[in-house]
Amino acid sequence: MSATVTSQSGALLDATLAAGRPALFGYIPLGMPTPDRAIEAVTAMLDAGADAVELGIPYTDPGVDGPVVQRAGEAALAAGTRVRDVVRVVEAVKAHAPAAPVLVMSYWNPVLRYGVDAFARDLAGAGGAGIITPDLIPDEASDWLAASDAHGLDRVFLAAPSSTPERLRITASASRGFVYAASVMGVTGTRTQVGEAAEQLVADTRAAGADHVCVGLGVSTGAQAAEVGRYADGVIVGSALLKTLQTDRPWAARLDDLQAVTAELAAGVARARKDV
């Protein structure tokens, strides 16, 4: 049984759904291309219409990351980014946009090495909302469940099209804030179509007990955001945003491009429920 914790992500999703739309989550790796520029990118994304942020912790063995996110993570590591930088970046983002939940998306090894309770303590102290853990299953997360309860953080586990009803029940019960529904089997990246299994996965995850289900992997256009937002509580986008920062254009121009794509995605989620 989880402790009574006010979920930043859950509160955001309640508010956006009450306003008649899903939420838009934007993903950027911590320190890409440097920690200071990552702060500029995240705040620019929020100013352009993103509702919440996922800060990815760069990792040398990113099992679910596609080529775009892998390149971003490699750039962040080459720039000297360290796990401890998450505190400074989260604090800066929260100072700019206090109402926006800032979640960390991390493989579990960096958190283990930092110390599970210490990471939760420092993230909560910086104003962070919680952690998305792509390679940690609830069955093996007892230390994280305790730390997230102790420090009032969201804990977001993943569901996939291959998840069994029993696995969905366990995942929904352990998650706080939302369940991250992977729209396709495979790695992150833009796709011409969102996985056909995504809508059924959202329905099955809700039936398994999840209060909120957000969909990631494969969304890259406003039209896809509107399509997914028709049935999901939140739409999560990474690669399409990162591509705007991985060009040779001047940094200010790249930020403009990032904001243009963010605005298109935000317009997509804004009309998602109106198109039904």
Residues noted as catalytic: 54, 65
CA distance linking residue 227 with residue 64, whole number of Å: 23
Other Cβ atoms less than 10 A from the Cβ of 231: the count is 19
Q: Where are the beta strands (DSSP E) in the chain?
A: 23-29, 52-56, 102-105, 130-132, 154-156, 158-159, 179-182, 213-216, 234-237
Locate 57 and state its tokens.
């912790």
Q: Which amino acid is at 175?
A: S
CA distance linking residue 211 with residue 213, whole number of Å: 7
Read off φ and ψ for residue 261, nearest 5 degrees.
Answer: -65, -40
Locate 195 and state its tokens.
């996985």
Q: Is 258 exposed, middle or buried (0-12, 13-18, 19+ CB in 10 A)?
A: buried
